[in-house]
Each structure stands twice: as structure tokens, then as C-alpha cells.
Structure 1
């Protein structure tokens, strides 16, 4: 018996009816109208783009109205009229020394702003020369002048950044002023948005080229990648239109930081679904189906329910982000769900229609013999499944895989989160160079100081107590210096720091570390906890102490993210588990499949932590990277469970489980491996965006997908199916719905 006929005998019977076969027949019959419809719809989306959504940007878009930093900033504006901290600072520096004239002029320029009637968004300015020693760690004097610009927080960060540049151009235009640039979180986020917009076309092009090369090599065809990219392109155009319209209607949009993720996700999943349809077509032709209609109908009938279940799984899992309380994550869930659903709808209609038109031409220039070989299972996977069908090798494979993944996951326990808007920028970026210059003249935390607001009855009358509190704060670990009631520089009025009418005082705290990175956030969290005790030790009668500024905001974002972790984990795992249970009609198998996914995700996050913090020395992992990647990786892992184990379950309805594994897993491994590599490359291309957050996200996603494909899917799942056996189907007694009528047929593993 030839290998072809062996496989035919061992394969599942052709579906004879049902909605999926009806879907296959309809898409075949209407193939030309379907193609015309999608092309016309994409053309309309391009011709009539929706209006751009003016979503909130800058720090304000990340704030929670319930966060301490937000409440402190609102209170500070009410009491003093402008915040003491600033998110925008103009940096002048000459390492050989700024002339006294330049320093004086910079101070006078700032004073002039304060003396005029406020013209929003610029409300005031605060000059800070390093002519005197500011605090611990300051090694220079007379080399740097910082001018903090106080902006109306209700204006978007683009407007604020533009106003800061206008200030520098109008007041510090001379060469001898030595203006390095504008630093702070507002300019940093403006630069991030600019860099994303600048590199997005390159990201798209490189991703498309990579997908083309991988798919062409896998199928030895130049037509298959064109089908994948054509479907992906149409899905992308329509998805962006739909997402933008929904954002306009609902008044929310996905954060700019995560929008390239939508691109990588859409290109990856539509290509994956194309790969499975084309694999099914090749298998049908390879098994001897002669006519195009029969082969297309067989492939579409077989794979559409699997693709639909997989797409719905990813969409539902990402939609679970709506349970988050953080304003950063909530809009991202619907945006990802819409992206997946549009891509899914395109994949199950347009791709079968194109395949129906082309028939064997899909595989050009591959010849008939080459197409026939597509029905042959992966020999190395057949050997692997054959080996893992015995309990001793299965136990060994499971233990080794679990130990390796656990070791990879260990560094995750020491993960530190950061916001890192400035540190994420390239070293040659003007905003980052300005921040570095400010740090050299003062301290790294000088670009975004922290405001401490102290309220209590008669507290402004106790100047000695306030000065003592200022001194105590300055002595805390991680604090470089404090500006407050004890300030003796003549250009500052004490009224800047106290308000008798509201019984409120404030001070400005500068940290030793970059204000939005992990170490600074930890320092501020400790300071928040100790401030009440420090105030009591200073003899102050305090009713409330609030902390505002960028580091406080970052701490609130990270605390909110961690607070969301539990509900996001429960919601995401529950959704994935429920869909696996429904699809597989079992409980035990979904439980251990999901456990394997979670372990591989933990390994990817642990490896990311080790590489970026231990090896590359970054001060933490960007706060949204672990959680966005975990949601996606668990969902995509369930996606591959449905592709891989779903085929095994289908075969197990007709054969004993070991034989079903021997038939289905080698058969599906080629498609899963190709699909996994494509998806990993799609996300890996995010690293071409020169922002450290995207390098972290690209690494996590690529490693997580590859671990799932080559460790979980190759070793752990076959081993668990062998060891758990028919109990995997619980509460059903058996996977088999009909007697095995081909028990004597050789399996692919024995061919």
C-alpha cells in the first residue's frame, strides 16, 4: 500500500452535510461576487476615510479620576492656580559653564511669563539654574538652566509640546543660550507618537515582505503569499475604518502605543487562517480529489469550523480587557476584538472564494506531484508522536519541558514595571538628549519632579515644622533634593509654596533616578508610605498628604495595572477555558491545555525580564507589555489548541486516541509550524520601531509564540494526551462516537 492510500484509509471521512458544508458550497458558487464585494468595500473605505478621532493624549489620557496623583493635581490647581511640578522643561547646558548673563536672562524670561496675564496653555514658568548646589549627587555648578513650563492640563500634549518649542524659540534663540532641547513626559510622548507615525509604513512593508518569504518558502508557491497578503490588506483597510468609526461613536480609541500591535495581530491571524485553508486544499488534492469544486468544498468544510472557533476564541479573550478599570486597557479590548472579527470574516469568505477561483493554480509553480506530497504528514512529527505515545518517553518529555519553562519563568518574580516615556526613546532623540543633559547638570529626576501637597489646620503658620519635613524628605533613600518652604533664593516668593487661606503647603521633590522608570516608581511608593510618619515626626498636624507629578502618575498606572491583573486573568482564562470546553466537548483536556499555555506565557515573560533588565540593564519593563502580551499569548495559544487538538479530537471520533494522534498531529504540524513562525515574525517586526517598549513587546510575543509551537505543541500536548488518555474527554466516557472501521489501516507514523 502506498503512503497516499494509507493516509486516505486512515483519514477522516468527508463531511456529508451541515452548515459548514453549506457555507463551502455557497462561497464556491458565489466566489466572483464575494471577491468583487470585498474589493469594492476596501475601495470605499480608502475613498471615504472616517474623520480622525481627537482622543485624549499625553499624561491625561493615562490618568484615572480615582487615582491619588490625579486628585492631588486637581487640588493643587484649585489652591495655587498652577502645579509646582511640570511635564515640560526647557534645558540649557554648556559643560564648560553658562555665562552669568545667560543665566540671568533665562530667569528674567521666566519671570516675565509669570508677571503677565496667563495665556493658556502656558500658565507660568519656573527657572532653575544649577548656580548653587541643589541636592545630593549634583557635581556641577553654573552649567545648566532648566525652565519649567506650567501648562493647562486640559490641552493635549501636542499643543503643549508646540508651546514649549515656541517659548524656546522666542526667548532663547541665541547661540550662546545653548538650548539642548525640551524634556519631560509631554515632549516624550509627542516624540513617541511622531516616531510611531514615521516608522509605521516601514513596519508594514517589512512585515509584508517577511510574510511573503516565509509563506512562499513553506508552500513553494508565489501565489499563496499573494492570497494571504491580499486578504490581509483588505482586512486591514476595512478594520482601520471600522475601528476608527467605532472610536468616533464611542468617544474612545486604542492607545497610540498599542496600535501597531493591531497591525501585527491582523496580518498574522489572517495569514494563519489562509495557511490552514490552503493546507486543506493541498491535502484534498493530495488524497486524490480530482475536481476543483470537490477539493475546495472539502477544505472549506473541514477548516472553517476550526478557524471560526479559533477566531472567536481570540476575539472573546481580547474583549475580556473591558473588565479592566484602567483607562489604558479598556479601549484596547474592543479594538482587538473588532480587528480579529473583521479578519475572521474576511478569511472565511474571501480566502475560500479566491481559492475556488484558482484551484490548483494556488500552488503555482508547484507541479501535481508536489501538490500530492502536501497530503503526507510531517515525518519528524510522526516520529515524535510515535515516541511520545509510550508512557516513559511521555513522562520524560513532560517533565523536561515543564522544568525548562519553569526555569525560564523564574525571573518574572523580580519584574519591575515602568512607564519610561523618555527612556524608551532612541539615544539620539532630542528629547532624550535634553533629559540626559538635565541629569548631568542636576539629577536624573530633575526633568519631572514630584509635588507633595500637605494640608492641615494652621499648617502654614508652622514654618519650622514644614522646613523640618522638607529636610526629612530630602534624607530619604532615592531622593536627590527638595525645593520648598526652606528655599532662600531671592527670585522665589514663599507664596509659591504655602497658601494660608487653604491651610496648604507644598514642596517639590527630585528623585535620583529617571522619574518614570522602575527604580523611581519604587522610591516614590516607599515615600508615599512614610510621608505621614515624617510629618508627625516634624510636629505637623496633617489631615492629608497628596503626591502628584509624573512619577506619582506612573505609580498609579502601575498600581492600577496590578489591580487589574486579577480580574483580567480570571476573565481571560475563563473565556478561553469556556470556548475550549465547548469546542472539545470536554473539561479535563481544556484544563491542562490552558495550564500549558499559561506556563509558556510565564516563561516568555521571565525570559523577557532576564534579557532586558539583567542583560541589557533597562530599569524595568514597560507597564503594558506583560499584560497586553499575556492576553494575546493565552488567546493565541488556545487558537493553536483548537487547530492542533481539534484535528486530533476529530480523528478520535473514528479511531482510538493514540491512532488519532498519529494521524492528526503529523498532518497538522506543518500548517501550525508555518502559521506560528509567521505570527512570531509579524510580532517580531515590532522591534523595528526604535522604542524600547516595542522591542520588549516584540521579544515577548515572538518568544511566547515559538515556545508554544515548538515546546508546548510538540512535546507537552502529545505527552499529556498519552498520559491522561481517554480521561481527557471527561465527562464523556470516550472520545469515539463510532467504531473504528479502519483499525487495520497503517498510520502515518508507520509508513
Structure 2
């Protein structure tokens, strides 16, 4: 008999099962009331975050920018700009109006400018940008807004300024761009696709569950549980997100959607598979529901805690960006687990056999064939060959993971037909890619700005550095503009604008700026300014600090996630060797996924790198979700091995659990794959690596590699524990035992 035997569940598991089945109608009513209460009292939205809000603590780039604004009385860096461009050359009148408009705004003579406080004009004429790719074709108006202006209002003001004041035929206005307009554009795209993403993900959930169980009712149960979990998870995390310093990244919203709908559907498949097994073995509706809850509920609980604890490990990060990830993802998972282990068993008890209508009970022949294949897998020679093949294959794919480069995607991540992307492309064509986000070099020291010869010498040194396309220096502008703008009126500070020749937030520009920062002391010495203090500011500098913090946090959090998952596996399985082995397999699968991400996006598609948080989030989630499948699959094998040999336990339980793990893996992979519907580069990177990682884990690691390695190691995998079945080797299949199973 293949039912989940009563002897395989402890007292607490049986008590929990009795409660949720007996009070099933109260459980359903309770969650309905909870959803209504959440809709009334918990917030529907949360404050969003920006790049600066998640800069590392004590950011030198932000400190330099603050010092510059204090020394000069105003900042020189703007994150929003209007672009005018005519490839055949802007007319002299159009170029003159660019400057006249800027002067009028700064003097307060231009009306209807909204929140705009000042405008700085830049035209690619001879002398200002010696390295400009063109001359007289492109004009930029860098916009500065009043304090406390929101990103949305800043972009709206710049767009209105363009419509009202840059509207003559020969102005050739392309649009508004910069890191702020790019972030606003990304948010609009994200929210515009969120409904489609939700509907598509739910449709995938319904389709996969319907195909798995050949039923019309089972998908409804999975859908209802997933919908309740997602709604409550969003409201709870919105409430908590209000206490997160700097806000919560927009990127978390679709990630929470994919994670919650994916794992809840996984848990639904686990419960439904167990329920169907009990019904096929002749149990009545309530008995089958209790057995399913007792056996699967504890496994889902521990598996969910593994995912939640792994996500919570992000709290050890120094970067605020990742500290925001931790509580939001962890709470989302915890809410999903609580809903799943209560609402699902209650619905199983209510619907009973109707869950699987119109399908008929399964024939034992299918299981017999699967068990036959599993017995072959447990032959040590076969297991060794298959295990070695999987290890070598995953290692080969993972070899390229070390070449992964990290950057920050704003403008480059937008679709090519987005107005902000088009304007940035036009600006780069007239100047250089880095013009969209220039880098500021600040010098401070007694009379540092009073020697134009030395400042000119430093400008030439900066211009000659690798990756530098141009430099705006005091010597490049008229004296009446320089004094007060690039040289402080006291002469104790001077600043340069450095234009990089790559995407200013990409890996190459970040690397170029790091090299420039490292060589600054020697450049100052050669220019005769060795006594001056220097600093670097701008979005490239902030992005570099963020990437560096990410690399440091990744190591720190990887240790925390591995330790948490190892501890949970050791407690649940009551062993040491098997948990270490299982985590090793998860690491192989993760490395293979990141290696394929490198091969596709960097080598095949030619991207400079990937968004800095993509490998970070993928690492945490894939390791935690791997433990999720470990607990479900190996937990059943471990429990059965208390009554028979490990080889027989693998042969019996792998066919019964691998189908559920495969269906769950496909569902979760499809859920993450739906992120590709958001036409932003970072979401397609995340969709690819998560979907591939889950499929590798479910189809290769848990279905082939783990059973093969357990078969090769035999009873040694349970060390220091000895499995009861390994002692006698011939215990009757249904023999009861007073021993408790893992996790009971």
C-alpha cells in the first residue's frame, strides 16, 4: 500500500492535520475575513527607492557631491537633461537659444518653468569637448529642480519645459533623458506590465496544475490559495516596507509575484499529489486529507522556513538595497507558508475526490514502471555513472560564472524605442555615452583654483586616461562662467566634469572610473597639485560603490544562506553528510545557471554585464528553493528508510515524489519565466537565470543527481545517524515504528 502511513507522522503532525480538517470551514472563513481586513487596514502601495537611497553607508561619492555643493553653493551634477540634435548641424540661432533660455531660467526671467530652478547648457562646439564625435550637432540642457522635488515631478517639469520653450522648427528636440527619467520610465513600464504579468502567471499556474492532475477543480484550489497568499503578502510587505529606510525597490514587486505564486503552487502540487495517492489507495475523503496534511504539511512548513530564512539572511548585507530585499521576500514566503499549510488541507477535505474530476483513479502500472526505473538508478554502478555525468556537466556549465560582470541598468535597460533611451542615444552620438551622467572630480585646498596653468595641466592628464572621452575644465569655459561655477569664489575649490566613453552605469565605465580614482594622486603630482584633496562624485561613482558593496555582501550573505540551510537540513534529516551533499548539489546547479547567464547575455547578446542584483537575488533564492525540494524529496526517502533499506526507500519514494517535484519545478520556472514579459533588461536576465536554475534543480539535481549520490553513499549519507532500515534491511514495508520521522 502506497499511502503515507500513519506511523510516518508524529503526534504533532497528526494533531495539526486533525485540527485543519475538522475545522475546515472555519479555516476558509478565517482567511476570507483576513483578506478583507488586509484590504481595509493595510496599505496598497509603498514608497519606492532610487539609486542614491541604496548607496553603501558612508558613501564617499555622495559625501564628495555634498562637499562640492557646500563649497560652491550649488551642485554641478544633474540627473535630468533635454537633448536637441540635428545630425546635419544645429543652426546658429538654435544653439544661441539654448544658452539664452538657460540664462533666462537662472535669472528668473523665464516664465512657466514649474519646479525648474536652473538650467546649464552644453553644446558640442569646438573647444568645450575636444573628444566629441561631432561638432555643432547636439545641444544639452541639464536641468536642476527645487529642493524636495520628486523624480516624477522633475521629469514632468523637464518635459513641459521642452514642449513650451524648445518648440521651434530648428530646435530639433529629441526628448528628456538621464538617470532620473530612466528610473521613472522603468517604473511606468513595470507598473504598466504588472497586470499582464499577474494574469499570465496565474494562467500558467492553472494550466500546469490542470495538466498535472488532469482536473478542472485542482487548478481552482491552487489558484485560490495562490491568490489569497499573494494578496496578503503584498499588503503585509507594503506595511513593513513603509519602515524600510530609503523605500523598497520597484524590482521587488514582480519578484514577489513570481516567488509567491510559484512556491504556493508548488505546495499545492505537493498536497494534491499526497491527497490523490491516499484516495487511489482507498482512503475516504477526510482520512486522505488528514494523511496528506500530516505528511506534507510538516515538510511544507520546514521547506518554507528554509526559503524564508535564506531570504532573511540578506539582512546581514551592508547595502540598504539588499537589506530591503530581506524582510520583504522573507515575509512574503512566511505569509505564503501559513496560508498554504492551513487553507490547502481545508480545501482538500472539502472537495475530496471532486478535486480530480474528471480524471479517474491512476493505475498502479504507471508507478510500477517508474519504480523499475528507480531501482535501476539505485544500482551503484549506474548511480555512479549518472552522478559523475551530472557533476561534470554542471561543473562545465558553471566554469563561466566567474566571468560575470556587474553594472547598474537604467537607460541601457530600457527598450530601444523608449523616449528616454532614444534621447540618450542621440546625446551619446553627439558627445559620448558618458554625457548622460557625467562624473565630477572635486579638488579642495588653499588657493587650489587660483593657478589656471596647473588646472589646465590636470585637465590634459585626465583627458589622457583610458575610458575618458572628454573633460570640461575651468580652462575650457570663459572666465565669467568659470568663477563661481568650476572655481569657487574663494579659490579654495575647483571641479572638473569627466565624460566617460561607455555607458556611465555599465561595468566598463565603473572599471574605468575605479582606475582613474586610483591614479588621481599621481595625476595631481604631475600637475603640480599634489597638496590638494580630491574626491569623485556622480552616478558612476555611486554605481561603483554599489557594485563593490554587492560583491562583499554576496560573500557575506552566501555564508549566511548556506549556514541557515545547512542547519535546517541537519535538524530535519538528523544527519551531517546528506545535508552537506545536498547543498553541494545546489551550489553546482547555481553555478551552472550563472554560467549560462554569462554565456547568453555577455557572450551571445553582447551586453557589458548584468544588473548588479540579478546574480545576488538568484543565488539566495536558488539555494533556498533547492533546500525546499531537498526537504520534500529526501524527507520522504528518509522517512521510508526507517522501515526498509535505503535503496528500497529510494526506489519507492523517488517515483512518488519526483513527479510532484518535476511539476512543481516546471510551475516555479514558468512563474519566474513570466518576468520576461517586463521589457526591461534586468527582468529578462532574472527570468532566464531563475527559470533555468529551477529547472536544473528539479529535473537534474533532485530527480537524478541526488538519488544517484545517495545510492552510491548508502547508509554513510545518514552519518552520524543510522537509518533503522539499514540495520536489518528486511523490515516489512508496512511495519509500524515508534520512532519519529524527521521533522516531527
TM-score, scaled to structure 1: 0.94
Partner of 2:605: 616
Shifted more, 705-714 versus 115-124: the winner is 115-124
Equivalent position to 2:673, from 661, 684, 698: 684
Partners of 1:264 and 1:653 lie apart in 2 by 37
Partner of 2:741: none
Do the aligned partners of residues 358 and 113 (structure 1) sit closer, same or farther apart at CA in structure 2, a change above 3 Å counting? same
Partner of 1:350: 343
Partners of 2:443 and 2:607 lie apart in 1 by 34
Partners of 2:288 and 2:730 lie apart in 1 by 24
Partner of 1:310: 303
SS at match of 1:461: coil
Counterpart check, 1:377 vs 2:367: yes
Shifted more, 509-518 versus 543-552: the winner is 543-552
Partner of 2:466: 477
Partner of 2:440: 451
Do the aligned partners of residues 144 and 677 (structure 1) sit closer, same or farther apart at CA in structure 2, a change above 3 Å counting? same
Equivalent position to 1:70, from 62, 76, 82: 62
The 8 Å contact of residues 8 and 640 in structure 2, kept in 1 or not, is answered as: no
Partner of 1:388: 377
The 8 Å contact of residues 133 and 432 in structure 2, kept in 1 or not, is answered as: no
Equivalent position to 1:127, from 121, 139, 150: 121
SS at match of 2:139: strand
Partner of 1:423: 412
Counterpart check, 1:542 vs 2:531: yes
Counterpart check, 1:591 vs 2:580: yes
SS at match of 1:508: strand
Map 1:12-31; keep pairs closer than 5 Å: 12=5, 14-15=7-8, 18-31=11-24
Counterpart check, 1:176 vs 2:170: yes
The 8 Å contact of residues 183 and 431 in structure 1, kept in 2 or not, is answered as: yes
Partner of 1:629: 618
Do the aligned partners of residues 224 and 233 (structure 1) sit closer, same or farther apart at CA in structure 2, a change above 3 Å counting? same
For residue 401 of structure 1, report the CA deviation from its aligned partner.
Answer: 1.2
Partner of 1:190: 184
Partner of 2:209: 215
The 8 Å contact of residues 376 and 667 in structure 1, kept in 2 or not, is answered as: no
Do the aligned partners of residues 337 and 16 (structure 1) sit closer, same or farther apart at CA in structure 2, a change above 3 Å counting? closer
Partner of 2:281: 287
SS at match of 1:148: strand
Partners of 1:741 and 1:396 lie apart in 2 by 27
Partner of 2:105: 113
The 8 Å contact of residues 28 and 343 in structure 2, kept in 1 or not, is answered as: yes
The 8 Å contact of residues 92 and 177 in structure 1, kept in 2 or not, is answered as: yes
For residue 196 of structure 1, report the CA deviation from its aligned partner.
Answer: 0.5
Partner of 2:359: 366
For residue 135 of structure 1, report the CA deviation from its aligned partner.
Answer: 4.3
Partners of 1:23 and 1:209 lie apart in 2 by 32
The 8 Å contact of residues 644 and 733 in structure 2, kept in 1 or not, is answered as: no
The 8 Å contact of residues 58 and 157 in structure 1, kept in 2 or not, is answered as: no
Partners of 2:589 and 2:660 lie apart in 1 by 20
Equivalent position to 1:569, from 558, 583, 596: 558
SS at match of 1:140: coil
Partners of 1:102 and 1:450 lie apart in 2 by 27
Partners of 1:718 and 1:247 lie apart in 2 by 41
Partner of 1:693: 682
Partner of 2:653: 664
For residue 658 of structure 1, report the CA deviation from its aligned partner.
Answer: 0.7
For residue 295 of structure 1, report the CA deviation from its aligned partner.
Answer: 0.9
Shifted more, 44-53 versus 430-439: the winner is 44-53
SS at match of 1:733: coil
Equivalent position to 1:330, from 323, 336, 343: 323
Do the aligned partners of residues 54 and 717 (structure 1) sit closer, same or farther apart at CA in structure 2, a change above 3 Å counting? closer
For residue 134 of structure 1, report the CA deviation from its aligned partner.
Answer: 4.9
Partners of 1:737 and 1:726 lie apart in 2 by 6
Q: Deviations over 1:613-639 (max 9, x none)?
A: 100111111000000111000000000
Partner of 2:33: 40
SS at match of 1:328: helix
Q: Between Structure 1 and Structure 2, how many residues are aligned?
A: 733
Do the aligned partners of residues 293 and 744 (structure 1) sit closer, same or farther apart at CA in structure 2, a change above 3 Å counting? closer
Partner of 1:749: none
Partner of 2:46: 53
The 8 Å contact of residues 98 and 143 in structure 1, kept in 2 or not, is answered as: yes
Counterpart check, 1:397 vs 2:386: yes
Shifted more, 662-671 versus 35-44: the winner is 35-44
Counterpart check, 1:299 vs 2:288: no
Do the aligned partners of residues 64 and 116 (structure 1) sit closer, same or farther apart at CA in structure 2, a change above 3 Å counting? farther
The 8 Å contact of residues 82 and 124 in structure 1, kept in 2 or not, is answered as: no
Partner of 1:167: 161
Counterpart check, 1:241 vs 2:235: yes
Partners of 1:312 and 1:668 lie apart in 2 by 20
Q: Deviations over 1:609-665 (max 9, x none)?
A: 110010011111100000011100000000000011111100111111111111111
Partners of 1:199 and 1:89 lie apart in 2 by 27
Q: Deviations over 1:468-489 (max 9, x none)?
A: 1111111111110000122145
Partners of 1:364 and 1:245 lie apart in 2 by 40
The 8 Å contact of residues 654 and 739 in structure 1, kept in 2 or not, is answered as: no
SS at match of 2:442: strand
Partners of 2:145 and 2:236 lie apart in 1 by 34
Do the aligned partners of residues 646 and 376 (structure 1) sit closer, same or farther apart at CA in structure 2, a change above 3 Å counting? farther
Equivalent position to 2:75, from 60, 64, 83: 83
Do the aligned partners of residues 148 and 252 (structure 1) sit closer, same or farther apart at CA in structure 2, a change above 3 Å counting? closer
The 8 Å contact of residues 449 and 491 in structure 2, kept in 1 or not, is answered as: no
Partners of 2:108 and 2:414 lie apart in 1 by 35
For residue 716 of structure 1, report the CA deviation from its aligned partner.
Answer: 1.6
Partner of 1:144: 138
Partners of 1:622 and 1:605 lie apart in 2 by 13
SS at match of 2:260: helix
Do the aligned partners of residues 111 and 252 (structure 1) sit closer, same or farther apart at CA in structure 2, a change above 3 Å counting? closer
Q: Deviations over 1:376-418 (max 9, x none)?
A: 53835x3443233222222222222111111111222111111
Counterpart check, 1:200 vs 2:189: no
Map 1:487-498; keep pairs closer than 5 Å: 487-489=476-478, 492-498=481-487
Do the aligned partners of residues 384 and 155 (structure 1) sit closer, same or farther apart at CA in structure 2, a change above 3 Å counting? farther
Alignment root-mean-square deviation, CA: 2.2
Partner of 1:748: none
Counterpart check, 1:533 vs 2:526: no
Q: What residue ranges of structure 2 are gaps of 5+ in the alignment?
A: 735-744
SS at match of 2:415: coil
The 8 Å contact of residues 32 and 353 in structure 1, kept in 2 or not, is answered as: yes
For residue 34 of structure 1, report the CA deviation from its aligned partner.
Answer: 1.1
Equivalent position to 1:486, from 469, 475, 480: 475
For residue 366 of structure 1, report the CA deviation from its aligned partner.
Answer: 1.2
For residue 458 of structure 1, report the CA deviation from its aligned partner.
Answer: 2.6
Partner of 2:395: 406
SS at match of 1:90: strand
Partner of 1:726: 715
Equivalent position to 2:502, from 497, 505, 513: 513
Shifted more, 420-429 versus 34-43: the winner is 34-43
For residue 150 of structure 1, report the CA deviation from its aligned partner.
Answer: 2.5
SS at match of 2:143: strand
